[in-house]
Amino acid sequence: MSNHAHYLLEPRQPEDLPRIMHWLNWYTAMCFNRMLNRTGHFWEKRYHSSGFEKTDYKRALNTLRYIHANPKAAKMQQGFFYDFSNYGIHDRLSDDGLTQWHPAFLSLGKSLDECAAKYREFCRKYKPKSKPESRYHWGSKLLPKVLKARERKKRSPGQMSLPWDDWEASNEEIREVAEKFVMANCYDPKVASQFFNDS
């Protein structure tokens, strides 16, 4: 997404999750700060997580679909393919070098093609829940003024869209991983390849 990320992770032990998230947030903040030539905090808030059993296939599939539908629900994309999401490995059965298929995905059919077809159909049926309207009970005249004043404030770097068009990998290994991921998951590989061929 433009200002946050979603992960579906399976730590070896539940108590490993805070350490994994600490490392991910620290590492990505360090990388983005270097890309943007800035210092200080990058992520605005601490991560949010909700756990469930690996055997809860219904929850796993709904979570995966929510993650893949998020760019579409936010009107960043028309469909489910997104250069910075791993939907492509589930729809086209491509290999991005990072993602493993969840057992819930593999349980959808007797062959990988059947799993992909059923997951594709499952995603097409997704209807995002509309967010409830904010209701003001007290201070209803004051709150809109406060909210307008907040909008005028400069957004923190953790809320800003990243300038992907200007990004250049400082490390060949990072570029190779990024290229493999994007090419495996993008909607149109011909268009995405231009991004990497120009660098």
- pLDDT, tens digit, 9 for 90 and up, residues 101-138: 999 999 999 999 999 999 999 999 988 877 666 565 55
Same domain membership, residue 10 and residue 45: yes
Task: For residue 11, name the pLDDT band (cuts at 50, 70, 90).
Answer: confident
Query: Domain check: are 74 and 13 in the same one?
Result: no
Chain segment 176-190, per-residue pLDDT in tens? 877 888 888 888 888
Residues 44 and 59 in one domain: no
- Judge if 176 and 122 occupy the same domain: yes
For residue 179, report the phi and psi dihedrals to the nearest 5 degrees: -65, -45
| 43 and 111 inside one domain | no
- Assess if residue 141 is contained within a domain: no
Q: Which domain holds residue 4?
A: 1-51
Domain count, the chain: 2
Q: Does one domain contain both 181 and 112?
A: yes
- Whether 105 and 35 map to the same domain: the answer is no
- pTM, two decimal places: 0.69
Q: How many residues does the chain have?
A: 199
Question: How far apart, in whole angstroms, are the C-alpha atoms of residue 120 and residue 117?
Answer: 5
Is 44 in the same domain as 81?
A: no
Euclidean distance between CA atoms 37 and 108, whole angstroms: 45
